[in-house]
Structure 1
Protein backbone atom coordinates (compact mmCIF):
# COMPACT_ATOMS: atom_id res chain seq x y z
CA UNK A 1 0.00 0.00 0.00
CA UNK A 2 1.56 3.23 -1.15
CA UNK A 3 -0.70 5.45 0.96
CA UNK A 4 0.02 3.98 4.39
CA UNK A 5 0.42 6.65 7.04
CA UNK A 6 3.66 6.79 9.02
CA UNK A 7 3.59 7.43 12.77
CA UNK A 8 6.62 8.16 14.96
CA UNK A 9 6.29 7.07 18.62
CA UNK A 10 8.77 8.83 20.95
CA UNK A 11 8.51 7.11 24.34
CA UNK A 12 11.27 5.98 26.73
CA UNK A 13 9.16 3.37 28.58
CA UNK A 14 9.76 0.37 26.34
CA UNK A 15 6.61 -1.58 27.28
CA UNK A 16 4.40 1.43 26.49
CA UNK A 17 6.30 2.18 23.27
CA UNK A 18 6.01 -1.42 22.08
CA UNK A 19 2.31 -1.78 22.88
CA UNK A 20 1.46 1.54 21.19
CA UNK A 21 3.52 0.54 18.14
CA UNK A 22 1.90 -2.92 17.98
CA UNK A 23 -1.62 -1.46 18.12
CA UNK A 24 -0.90 1.20 15.48
CA UNK A 25 0.72 -1.37 13.17
CA UNK A 26 -2.38 -3.54 13.59
CA UNK A 27 -4.44 -0.47 12.55
CA UNK A 28 -2.47 -0.27 9.29
CA UNK A 29 0.18 2.35 10.12
CA UNK A 30 3.92 2.18 9.48
CA UNK A 31 5.49 2.91 12.89
CA UNK A 32 8.99 4.11 13.86
CA UNK A 33 10.16 4.14 17.49
CA UNK A 34 12.48 6.54 19.31
CA UNK A 35 13.37 6.33 23.01
CA UNK A 36 14.89 9.74 23.76
CA UNK A 37 14.58 13.36 22.64
CA UNK A 38 17.52 13.65 20.21
CA UNK A 39 16.65 10.32 18.56
CA UNK A 40 13.04 11.45 18.13
CA UNK A 41 14.07 14.68 16.37
CA UNK A 42 16.57 12.82 14.13
CA UNK A 43 14.06 10.13 13.08
CA UNK A 44 11.35 12.74 12.42
CA UNK A 45 13.72 14.67 10.15
CA UNK A 46 14.60 11.47 8.27
CA UNK A 47 11.21 9.72 7.95
CA UNK A 48 8.85 12.76 7.72
CA UNK A 49 6.03 11.09 9.73
CA UNK A 50 2.36 11.96 9.20
CA UNK A 51 1.84 12.09 12.98
CA UNK A 52 3.98 11.92 16.15
CA UNK A 53 2.99 10.32 19.47
CA UNK A 54 5.29 12.06 21.94
CA UNK A 55 5.94 11.55 25.65
CA UNK A 56 6.67 14.74 27.64
CA UNK A 57 9.20 13.14 30.02
CA UNK A 58 12.15 11.94 27.93
CA UNK A 59 15.91 11.52 28.38
CA UNK A 60 18.23 13.80 26.38
CA UNK A 61 15.76 16.65 26.20
CA UNK A 62 12.06 16.63 26.98
CA UNK A 63 9.05 16.23 24.75
CA UNK A 64 8.34 19.97 24.72
CA UNK A 65 11.75 20.60 23.14
CA UNK A 66 11.22 17.69 20.71
CA UNK A 67 7.87 19.24 19.75
CA UNK A 68 9.44 22.67 19.16
CA UNK A 69 12.21 21.22 16.99
CA UNK A 70 9.95 18.95 14.94
CA UNK A 71 7.42 21.73 14.33
CA UNK A 72 10.19 24.17 13.35
CA UNK A 73 11.23 21.71 10.61
CA UNK A 74 7.71 21.09 9.24
CA UNK A 75 4.18 21.18 10.71
CA UNK A 76 3.01 17.73 11.77
CA UNK A 77 0.16 16.70 14.11
CA UNK A 78 1.47 15.74 17.57
CA UNK A 79 -0.34 13.74 20.25
CA UNK A 80 1.42 14.28 23.60
CA UNK A 81 1.56 11.76 26.42
CA UNK A 82 2.05 12.95 30.00
CA UNK A 83 2.36 11.00 33.22
CA UNK A 84 1.44 14.05 35.28
CA UNK A 85 -2.07 15.36 35.09
CA UNK A 86 -0.61 18.84 35.24
CA UNK A 87 -2.40 21.78 33.61
CA UNK A 88 0.87 23.68 33.15
CA UNK A 89 2.54 20.86 31.22
CA UNK A 90 -0.52 20.40 29.07
CA UNK A 91 -0.87 24.09 28.26
CA UNK A 92 2.84 24.43 27.49
CA UNK A 93 2.58 21.36 25.26
CA UNK A 94 -0.37 22.86 23.40
CA UNK A 95 1.46 26.20 23.17
CA UNK A 96 4.54 24.69 21.48
CA UNK A 97 2.47 22.98 18.81
CA UNK A 98 0.91 19.79 20.16
CA UNK A 99 -2.58 19.08 18.81
CA UNK A 100 -3.87 16.85 21.58
CA UNK A 101 -2.73 15.06 24.73
CA UNK A 102 -3.44 11.96 26.79
CA UNK A 103 -2.63 11.40 30.45
CA UNK A 104 -1.07 8.08 31.52
CA UNK A 105 -2.32 5.51 32.17
CA UNK A 106 -4.37 5.51 28.97
CA UNK A 107 -6.25 2.99 26.88
CA UNK A 108 -4.32 1.86 23.78
CA UNK A 109 -7.68 1.60 21.98
CA UNK A 110 -8.45 5.24 22.77
CA UNK A 111 -4.98 6.32 21.64
CA UNK A 112 -5.50 4.60 18.29
CA UNK A 113 -8.91 6.30 17.95
CA UNK A 114 -7.34 9.70 18.61
CA UNK A 115 -4.59 9.09 16.05
CA UNK A 116 -7.25 8.31 13.43
CA UNK A 117 -9.26 11.41 14.48
CA UNK A 118 -6.24 13.73 14.18
CA UNK A 119 -5.39 12.42 10.72
CA UNK A 120 -9.03 12.70 9.58
CA UNK A 121 -9.04 16.31 10.70
CA UNK A 122 -5.87 17.06 8.72
CA UNK A 123 -7.50 15.48 5.65
CA UNK A 124 -10.61 17.62 6.15
CA UNK A 125 -8.50 20.77 6.50
CA UNK A 126 -7.07 20.14 3.04
CA UNK A 127 -10.56 20.12 1.52
CA UNK A 128 -11.48 23.77 2.18
CA UNK A 129 -12.97 25.48 -0.87
CA UNK A 130 -10.37 27.90 -2.32
CA UNK A 131 -12.90 30.75 -2.32
CA UNK A 132 -14.27 30.11 1.19
CA UNK A 133 -15.09 33.46 2.79
CA UNK A 134 -13.35 34.76 5.89
CA UNK A 135 -15.45 34.79 9.08
CA UNK A 136 -15.47 38.24 10.71
CA UNK A 137 -16.97 38.67 14.18
CA UNK A 138 -16.25 42.07 15.72
CA UNK A 139 -12.45 42.46 15.71
CA UNK A 140 -11.89 38.71 15.16
CA UNK A 141 -11.09 37.51 11.64
CA UNK A 142 -10.83 33.80 10.75
CA UNK A 143 -9.50 32.95 7.27
CA UNK A 144 -10.36 29.30 6.46
CA UNK A 145 -8.32 29.21 3.24
CA UNK A 146 -5.01 30.40 4.72
CA UNK A 147 -5.94 29.02 8.18
CA UNK A 148 -5.00 32.32 9.81
CA UNK A 149 -6.65 34.09 12.73
CA UNK A 150 -6.29 37.78 13.57
CA UNK A 151 -7.66 39.76 16.47
CA UNK A 152 -7.64 43.55 16.05
CA UNK A 153 -5.31 43.01 13.08
CA UNK A 154 -2.74 41.00 15.08
CA UNK A 155 -2.18 37.43 13.92
CA UNK A 156 -2.31 34.67 16.54
CA UNK A 157 -0.26 31.51 16.04
CA UNK A 158 -2.64 28.61 16.63
CA UNK A 159 -2.23 24.86 16.47
CA UNK A 160 -4.40 23.10 13.84
CA UNK A 161 -6.99 22.01 16.42
CA UNK A 162 -7.08 25.47 18.04
CA UNK A 163 -7.81 26.91 14.58
CA UNK A 164 -10.62 24.41 13.96
CA UNK A 165 -12.12 25.16 17.38
CA UNK A 166 -12.16 28.96 17.01
CA UNK A 167 -13.47 28.68 13.42
CA UNK A 168 -16.27 26.39 14.62
CA UNK A 169 -17.27 28.79 17.44
CA UNK A 170 -16.96 31.88 15.20
CA UNK A 171 -19.24 30.38 12.54
CA UNK A 172 -22.14 30.67 15.03
CA UNK A 173 -21.29 33.51 17.42
CA UNK A 174 -23.22 33.60 20.72
CA UNK A 175 -24.55 30.05 20.11
CA UNK A 176 -23.74 27.65 22.96
CA UNK A 177 -21.70 24.65 21.79
CA UNK A 178 -21.83 21.66 24.19
CA UNK A 179 -18.44 20.10 24.94
CA UNK A 180 -19.64 16.68 23.74
CA UNK A 181 -20.66 18.11 20.36
CA UNK A 182 -17.35 19.95 20.00
CA UNK A 183 -15.54 16.67 20.73
CA UNK A 184 -17.57 14.87 18.07
CA UNK A 185 -17.35 17.58 15.41
CA UNK A 186 -13.74 18.73 15.84
CA UNK A 187 -11.92 15.76 17.36
CA UNK A 188 -14.13 13.13 15.74
CA UNK A 189 -14.72 11.28 19.01
CA UNK A 190 -17.89 9.34 19.55
CA UNK A 191 -17.90 9.57 23.37
CA UNK A 192 -17.65 12.31 25.95
CA UNK A 193 -14.62 10.96 27.79
CA UNK A 194 -12.30 13.74 26.64
CA UNK A 195 -14.13 16.90 27.67
CA UNK A 196 -11.03 18.14 29.54
CA UNK A 197 -9.29 18.20 26.17
CA UNK A 198 -11.83 20.82 25.06
CA UNK A 199 -11.29 22.83 28.25
CA UNK A 200 -7.50 22.88 27.78
CA UNK A 201 -7.78 24.03 24.17
CA UNK A 202 -10.19 26.79 25.19
CA UNK A 203 -7.66 27.94 27.83
CA UNK A 204 -4.97 28.07 25.17
CA UNK A 205 -7.23 30.10 22.86
CA UNK A 206 -8.05 32.56 25.66
CA UNK A 207 -4.35 33.01 26.32
CA UNK A 208 -3.62 33.65 22.63
CA UNK A 209 -6.73 35.65 21.64
CA UNK A 210 -7.92 37.29 24.85
CA UNK A 211 -9.81 36.05 27.91
CA UNK A 212 -12.99 37.93 26.89
CA UNK A 213 -13.54 36.03 23.64
CA UNK A 214 -14.98 32.68 24.72
CA UNK A 215 -17.67 32.46 27.41
CA UNK A 216 -17.99 29.36 29.58
CA UNK A 217 -21.58 28.16 29.89
CA UNK A 218 -21.30 26.17 33.10
CA UNK A 219 -22.30 22.55 32.86
CA UNK A 220 -22.81 22.80 29.09
CA UNK A 221 -19.95 24.16 26.98
CA UNK A 222 -18.73 27.36 25.33
CA UNK A 223 -19.96 30.30 23.27
CA UNK A 224 -18.05 32.90 21.27
CA UNK A 225 -18.75 36.40 22.55
CA UNK A 226 -18.96 39.13 19.90
CA UNK A 227 -15.72 41.08 20.52
CA UNK A 228 -15.83 44.85 20.58
Structure 2
Protein backbone atom coordinates (compact mmCIF):
# COMPACT_ATOMS: atom_id res chain seq x y z
CA UNK A 1 0.00 0.00 0.00
CA UNK A 2 1.25 3.48 -0.89
CA UNK A 3 2.22 5.77 1.98
CA UNK A 4 0.98 9.37 1.99
CA UNK A 5 2.52 12.03 4.20
CA UNK A 6 -0.14 14.67 4.89
CA UNK A 7 1.12 17.91 6.44
CA UNK A 8 -1.94 20.02 7.33
CA UNK A 9 -2.59 22.05 10.50
CA UNK A 10 -6.39 22.08 10.18
CA UNK A 11 -7.45 18.86 11.90
CA UNK A 12 -10.93 18.79 10.35
CA UNK A 13 -9.46 18.95 6.84
CA UNK A 14 -6.75 16.45 7.76
CA UNK A 15 -9.37 14.03 9.12
CA UNK A 16 -11.45 14.23 5.94
CA UNK A 17 -8.42 13.68 3.72
CA UNK A 18 -7.13 10.81 5.87
CA UNK A 19 -10.48 9.02 5.95
CA UNK A 20 -11.09 9.41 2.22
CA UNK A 21 -7.59 8.30 1.19
CA UNK A 22 -7.72 5.38 3.63
CA UNK A 23 -10.85 4.19 1.84
CA UNK A 24 -8.83 4.37 -1.38
CA UNK A 25 -6.26 1.99 0.18
CA UNK A 26 -3.61 4.57 1.07
CA UNK A 27 -1.76 4.58 4.39
CA UNK A 28 -1.90 8.19 5.61
CA UNK A 29 0.60 9.64 8.09
CA UNK A 30 -0.54 13.03 9.40
CA UNK A 31 1.60 15.87 10.68
CA UNK A 32 0.10 19.09 12.08
CA UNK A 33 3.16 21.28 11.53
CA UNK A 34 6.44 21.50 9.66
CA UNK A 35 8.59 20.05 12.45
CA UNK A 36 6.46 16.94 12.80
CA UNK A 37 6.22 16.70 9.01
CA UNK A 38 10.00 16.71 8.70
CA UNK A 39 10.31 13.96 11.31
CA UNK A 40 7.74 11.77 9.52
CA UNK A 41 9.37 12.50 6.16
CA UNK A 42 12.55 10.83 7.38
CA UNK A 43 10.96 7.99 9.36
CA UNK A 44 8.08 7.02 7.05
CA UNK A 45 9.73 7.51 3.63
CA UNK A 46 6.41 8.36 1.93
CA UNK A 47 5.49 7.63 -1.67
CA UNK A 48 3.77 11.00 -2.03
CA UNK A 49 3.48 14.17 0.07
CA UNK A 50 0.40 16.40 0.41
CA UNK A 51 1.64 19.67 1.88
CA UNK A 52 -0.31 22.73 3.04
CA UNK A 53 1.38 26.07 2.38
CA UNK A 54 0.15 27.79 5.55
CA UNK A 55 1.59 25.96 8.56
CA UNK A 56 1.81 27.25 12.14
CA UNK A 57 5.58 27.01 12.46
CA UNK A 58 6.88 27.57 8.93
CA UNK A 59 5.96 28.24 5.31
CA UNK A 60 5.07 25.15 3.33
CA UNK A 61 7.01 26.52 0.37
CA UNK A 62 10.20 26.46 2.43
CA UNK A 63 9.43 22.94 3.62
CA UNK A 64 8.84 21.80 0.04
CA UNK A 65 12.20 23.27 -0.94
CA UNK A 66 13.84 21.39 1.93
CA UNK A 67 12.24 18.07 0.95
CA UNK A 68 13.25 18.56 -2.66
CA UNK A 69 16.93 18.82 -1.75
CA UNK A 70 16.70 15.34 -0.23
CA UNK A 71 14.24 13.46 -2.42
CA UNK A 72 12.35 13.41 -5.71
CA UNK A 73 9.15 12.10 -4.03
CA UNK A 74 6.03 13.63 -5.67
CA UNK A 75 4.78 16.67 -3.73
CA UNK A 76 1.30 18.17 -4.03
CA UNK A 77 0.81 21.60 -2.47
CA UNK A 78 -2.63 22.52 -1.13
CA UNK A 79 -3.62 26.09 -0.29
CA UNK A 80 -6.43 28.61 -0.12
CA UNK A 81 -4.22 30.87 -2.25
CA UNK A 82 -5.44 30.59 -5.84
CA UNK A 83 -3.23 33.22 -7.48
CA UNK A 84 -1.25 32.05 -10.51
CA UNK A 85 1.89 33.56 -8.95
CA UNK A 86 1.54 31.24 -5.94
CA UNK A 87 1.16 28.16 -8.14
CA UNK A 88 4.15 29.14 -10.25
CA UNK A 89 6.25 29.77 -7.12
CA UNK A 90 5.41 26.30 -5.81
CA UNK A 91 6.35 24.67 -9.12
CA UNK A 92 9.60 26.58 -9.35
CA UNK A 93 10.82 25.36 -5.97
CA UNK A 94 9.98 21.74 -6.77
CA UNK A 95 6.29 20.95 -6.23
CA UNK A 96 4.68 18.59 -8.74
CA UNK A 97 1.08 19.72 -8.36
CA UNK A 98 -0.98 22.46 -6.70
CA UNK A 99 -4.56 22.15 -5.51
CA UNK A 100 -6.61 25.14 -4.35
CA UNK A 101 -8.96 24.98 -1.36
CA UNK A 102 -11.79 24.22 -1.22
CA UNK A 103 -11.44 21.03 -3.26
CA UNK A 104 -13.34 17.78 -3.55
CA UNK A 105 -11.92 14.64 -1.96
CA UNK A 106 -12.48 12.88 -5.26
CA UNK A 107 -10.25 15.33 -7.09
CA UNK A 108 -7.58 15.09 -4.41
CA UNK A 109 -7.57 11.30 -4.68
CA UNK A 110 -7.43 11.47 -8.49
CA UNK A 111 -4.45 13.79 -8.41
CA UNK A 112 -2.69 11.69 -5.80
CA UNK A 113 -3.24 8.61 -7.92
CA UNK A 114 -1.91 10.41 -11.01
CA UNK A 115 1.28 11.42 -9.20
CA UNK A 116 1.84 7.91 -7.88
CA UNK A 117 1.05 6.34 -11.24
CA UNK A 118 3.70 8.45 -12.92
CA UNK A 119 6.28 7.75 -10.22
CA UNK A 120 5.76 3.97 -10.34
CA UNK A 121 5.60 3.47 -14.08
CA UNK A 122 6.64 0.11 -15.38
CA UNK A 123 10.30 -0.15 -16.20
CA UNK A 124 11.24 0.67 -19.74
CA UNK A 125 12.50 -2.15 -21.98
CA UNK A 126 16.11 -3.02 -21.20
CA UNK A 127 17.32 -2.14 -24.67
CA UNK A 128 15.94 1.39 -24.27
CA UNK A 129 17.05 1.78 -20.67
CA UNK A 130 20.64 0.80 -21.47
CA UNK A 131 20.92 2.90 -24.56
CA UNK A 132 23.92 5.21 -24.31
CA UNK A 133 24.48 8.19 -26.56
CA UNK A 134 27.84 9.77 -27.34
CA UNK A 135 27.13 13.14 -25.77
CA UNK A 136 27.12 14.74 -22.34
CA UNK A 137 23.52 13.95 -21.30
CA UNK A 138 22.41 10.43 -20.35
CA UNK A 139 19.32 9.06 -18.61
CA UNK A 140 19.03 5.98 -16.42
CA UNK A 141 15.33 5.18 -16.55
CA UNK A 142 15.47 2.52 -13.83
CA UNK A 143 17.15 4.81 -11.31
CA UNK A 144 15.17 7.81 -12.61
CA UNK A 145 18.32 9.86 -12.84
CA UNK A 146 19.80 12.31 -15.35
CA UNK A 147 23.57 12.34 -15.78
CA UNK A 148 25.51 15.31 -17.10
CA UNK A 149 29.20 14.66 -17.79
CA UNK A 150 28.68 11.44 -15.77
CA UNK A 151 27.53 13.44 -12.73
CA UNK A 152 24.01 12.91 -11.37
CA UNK A 153 21.63 15.85 -11.71
CA UNK A 154 18.90 16.32 -9.11
CA UNK A 155 15.45 16.81 -10.66
CA UNK A 156 11.87 16.97 -9.48
CA UNK A 157 9.41 14.24 -10.37
CA UNK A 158 7.84 16.33 -13.15
CA UNK A 159 11.18 17.50 -14.54
CA UNK A 160 12.34 13.91 -14.92
CA UNK A 161 9.06 12.88 -16.55
CA UNK A 162 9.41 15.62 -19.16
CA UNK A 163 13.03 14.66 -19.80
CA UNK A 164 12.08 10.99 -20.04
CA UNK A 165 9.58 11.71 -22.80
CA UNK A 166 12.16 13.82 -24.61
CA UNK A 167 14.77 11.09 -24.24
CA UNK A 168 12.55 8.33 -25.58
CA UNK A 169 11.48 10.47 -28.55
CA UNK A 170 14.49 12.55 -29.67
CA UNK A 171 13.58 15.10 -32.29
CA UNK A 172 9.83 14.79 -31.69
CA UNK A 173 8.04 18.07 -31.05
CA UNK A 174 5.77 18.03 -28.00
CA UNK A 175 3.13 20.67 -27.43
CA UNK A 176 2.75 22.04 -23.91
CA UNK A 177 -0.57 20.24 -23.63
CA UNK A 178 1.03 16.90 -24.56
CA UNK A 179 3.75 17.35 -21.96
CA UNK A 180 1.19 18.27 -19.30
CA UNK A 181 -0.85 15.17 -20.11
CA UNK A 182 2.26 13.00 -20.03
CA UNK A 183 3.44 14.14 -16.62
CA UNK A 184 0.13 14.43 -14.78
CA UNK A 185 -2.71 12.94 -16.74
CA UNK A 186 -5.58 14.63 -18.50
CA UNK A 187 -7.73 14.75 -15.34
CA UNK A 188 -5.45 17.27 -13.59
CA UNK A 189 -5.88 21.02 -13.93
CA UNK A 190 -2.62 22.78 -14.69
CA UNK A 191 -1.56 25.65 -16.91
CA UNK A 192 0.80 25.85 -19.86
CA UNK A 193 2.95 28.13 -17.74
CA UNK A 194 3.76 25.08 -15.59
CA UNK A 195 5.57 23.42 -18.50
CA UNK A 196 7.51 26.60 -19.26
CA UNK A 197 8.70 26.66 -15.64
CA UNK A 198 9.85 23.03 -15.77
CA UNK A 199 11.62 23.58 -19.10
CA UNK A 200 13.42 26.62 -17.71
CA UNK A 201 14.56 24.64 -14.68
CA UNK A 202 15.71 21.70 -16.83
CA UNK A 203 17.74 23.98 -19.07
CA UNK A 204 19.48 25.46 -16.03
CA UNK A 205 20.44 21.94 -14.97
CA UNK A 206 21.52 20.31 -18.26
CA UNK A 207 22.45 23.06 -20.71
CA UNK A 208 25.89 24.68 -20.82
CA UNK A 209 24.16 27.95 -21.72
CA UNK A 210 20.45 27.89 -20.74
CA UNK A 211 19.81 31.02 -22.82
CA UNK A 212 21.20 29.30 -25.93
CA UNK A 213 20.09 25.68 -25.42
CA UNK A 214 21.58 22.98 -27.64
CA UNK A 215 19.39 20.10 -26.46
CA UNK A 216 16.01 21.31 -25.15
CA UNK A 217 14.82 23.57 -27.92
CA UNK A 218 11.78 25.75 -28.34
CA UNK A 219 9.69 25.22 -31.47
CA UNK A 220 7.95 28.57 -31.71
CA UNK A 221 4.19 28.37 -31.87
CA UNK A 222 4.19 24.63 -31.15
CA UNK A 223 6.15 23.56 -28.08
CA UNK A 224 9.48 21.92 -27.32
CA UNK A 225 11.77 19.16 -28.60
CA UNK A 226 14.94 17.42 -27.49
CA UNK A 227 17.98 17.00 -29.72
CA UNK A 228 20.96 14.79 -28.99
TM-score, normalised to structure 1, is 0.77
| Unmatched segments (≥5 aa) in structure 2 | none
Alignment of 1:30 onto 2:32: no
Alignment of 1:51 onto 2:48: yes
Supply the distance in 2 between the matched residues of 1:177 and 1:183 (Cα, whole angstroms).
10
Match for 2:202 among 193, 205, 212?
Answer: 205
Supply the distance in 2 between the matched residues of 1:167 and 1:207 (Cα, whole angstroms).
17
Supply the distance in 2 between the matched residues of 1:192 and 1:199 (Cα, whole angstroms).
17
Match for 1:155 among 136, 152, 155?
Answer: 152
Contact 1:85 1:103 in 2 (8 A): no
Question: How far off its partner does 1:75 sit?
Answer: 5.3
Task: Report Cα offsets for 1:65-110 as digits up to 9, x if no partner.
Answer: 4345556676533222343532334312x1xxx4x12142363333
Contact 1:135 1:143 in 2 (8 A): no
Tell me which moved more, 195-204 or 51-60.
195-204
TM-score, normalised to structure 2, is 0.77
Contact 2:51 2:76 in 1 (8 A): yes
Contact 2:73 2:157 in 1 (8 A): no
Question: How far off its partner does 1:209 sit?
Answer: 1.9
Q: For residue 84 of structure 2, what is the aligned residue in structure 1?
A: 85
Provide the alpha-carbon RMSD of the alignment: 3.0
Supply the distance in 2 between the matched residues of 1:172 and 1:6 (Cα, whole angstroms).
32
Alignment of 1:193 onto 2:189: yes
| Unmatched segments (≥5 aa) in structure 1 | none
Contact 1:180 1:191 in 2 (8 A): no
Moved beyond 6 Å, runs of 4+? none
**What SS class does the counterpart of residue 84 from structure 2 fall into?**
coil
Q: 1:186 to 1:216 in 2, by over 3 A?
A: same
**What SS class does the counterpart of residue 58 from structure 1 fall into?**
coil
Task: Report Cα offsets for 1:158-185 as digits up to 9, x if no partner.
Answer: 1233222112112222311123322333
Q: For residue 12 of structure 1, what is the aligned residue in structure 2?
A: 9
Supply the distance in 2 between the matched residues of 1:198 and 1:20 (Cα, whole angstroms).
28
What is the aligned length?
Answer: 216
Question: How far off its partner does 1:27 sit?
Answer: 2.2
Supply the distance in 2 between the matched residues of 1:60 and 1:223 (Cα, whole angstroms).
42
